[in-house]
Amino acid sequence: MRNLLLVVLVLLFGSQAGFRTRLYASAQTAPVAHPLAAEAERLSVELNPQVVAWRRDFHKNPELGNRETRTAKVIADELRKLGYTVTTGVATTGVVGVLKGGLPGPVVALRSDMDGLPVQEQGDLPFKSTAKTQWAGQEVGVMHACGHDNHMAILLGTATALARMKDRLPGTVKVIFQPAEEGPPPGETGGAEQMIKESVLENPKVDAIFGLHVFPFPAGQIVYRSGPLMASADTFLIRIKGRQTHGAVPWGGIDPIVIGSQVVMGLQTIISRTVNITEAPAVVTVGRFSGGNRSNIVPELVELEGTIRAFNEDVRKSIHERIRAIATHYAEAAGATATVEIGMGTAYPSTINDSALTERMLPTLRRAVGADNVRLGPLTGTAEDFSFFQQKVPGLFVFLGVTPRDQDHTKVAQNHSPLFFADESALPIGVKVMTNLALDYLFGGK
């Protein structure tokens, strides 16, 4: 009998211990929903018709960077209706809305970009853009070819959902609608960097920031990466000045075309011979080489223009130094001169997701869209000025897939294409993701 009792006790307590172990393990791995999860789920569906309407309106009426006046008015008017404290004219046309919850807590920021691109839309949507404007002295078509129309609609939907929960929010929400992500017009400042200079992350001080970008992954899929996600981007311009002469007597001058050709080849050795690509990949591309106007004249001047992409700040700075050295020394060796400008127009640091914040919010992403729809993504050579926000506060930036599920996402038109297409089935998923990121962060505290 005692032996039987002993067996029963062992089985009973052993079973309870095992249960406690499993329960603990489950608590460590299973995402715990915040108290408003069911409401966030319901609102992402309920608000979708309005989100779609906003998206189509923005798509039909795109505006270029620092010129988003109509766009900004639509956004500001909507935020005021929702009860946000609204500031306009930030970094020229930016809009910032602040919603103070009914309970004390941290401050979370959610960001969307606003600008379109000088691209003539070639798709056949019923709400396609026919807008035209001036860019760099030329008349151009304007299109939301990078999908910022989706971002704005998603963030307005998120702002609406959070406003309906205002009294139960433990903290403050700041929604940031940013102009000129694609870069301001020549000679102007703008974008995230300018918004930061104008204190967008202060009053109230932001504790963390979230953003997303539509991308040609399967619709509704969320792609994330801790640490570096997107590359830095720096434009460079090299001017090589030689001495003009007749093409029949090249010894009578100094040929900048030959020097420029040598510089192009020299630039290729930066990545292949000086960057440890096993640790941090990088790219140096010359996209424009221009000079001369006749076949029989050696010109005085040539220009080389290109882009630099990197994922590590030290590598980025090293590439800058090597470009300056190669251009100036090749020119000097031939008796010419060279000037190098880096960062005019575009100078974005790498988009680097805060590792602790990413780990903390990963269960939120999985709960919002299902674990099967969340995957670790590769590094991408594209760039985003969301990176400036991440240099100031912890930030998480993710991709939202918008390729129809019946299409091969590896073969569709990419962002910036005149044929870029975003499946609207991703819109409610974007709202659900952004709403849950904000709520989980607020309920979790700093």
- Segment 368-425, tens digit of pLDDT: 999 999 999 999 999 999 999 999 999 999 999 999 999 999 999 999 999 999 999 9
Q: How many whole angstroms separate alpha carbon 372 and alpha carbon 221?
A: 9
Q: Are strands 138-141 and 395-403 parallel, antiparallel or unpaired?
A: unpaired
The reported pLDDT for the residue numbered 15 is 41
Question: Across the chain, what does the average pLDDT equal?
Answer: 93
**Whole-prediction pTM value?**
0.90
Which token pair is 188? 């102007």
Rounded (5°) CA angle 430-436-437: 90
| Cα–Cα nearest to 326, from 369, 263, 261 | 263
Average the pLDDT over 298-323 and give the result.
Answer: 97
Identify whether 224 is a catalytic site residue.
no
The CATH 3.30.70.360 portion of the chain extends over: 232-348
The CATH 3.40.630.10 portion of the chain extends over: 37-230+350-444
Question: 246 near 298, Cβ under 8 Å?
Answer: yes
Q: Are strands 227-230 and 351-353 parallel, antiparallel or unpaired?
A: antiparallel
Which token pair is 116? 């379109």
The reported pLDDT for the residue numbered 32 is 62
CATH of 232-348, one of 3.30.930.10, 2.30.110.10, 3.30.70.360, 3.40.50.1110: 3.30.70.360
Write down the architecture of domain 37-230+350-444 according to CATH.
3-Layer(aba) Sandwich (3.40)
- Segment 409-423, tens digit of pLDDT: 999 999 999 999 999
| Cα–Cα nearest to 119, from 416, 422, 402 | 416
The catalytically annotated residue of 39, 41, 198, 424 is 424
Identify whether 424 is a catalytic site residue.
yes
The catalytically annotated residue of 224, 348, 384, 441 is 348
Question: 446 near 438, Cβ under 8 Å?
Answer: no
- Segment 270-305, tens digit of pLDDT: 999 999 999 889 999 999 999 999 999 999 999 999
Q: How many whole angstroms separate alpha carbon 331 and alpha carbon 260?
A: 8
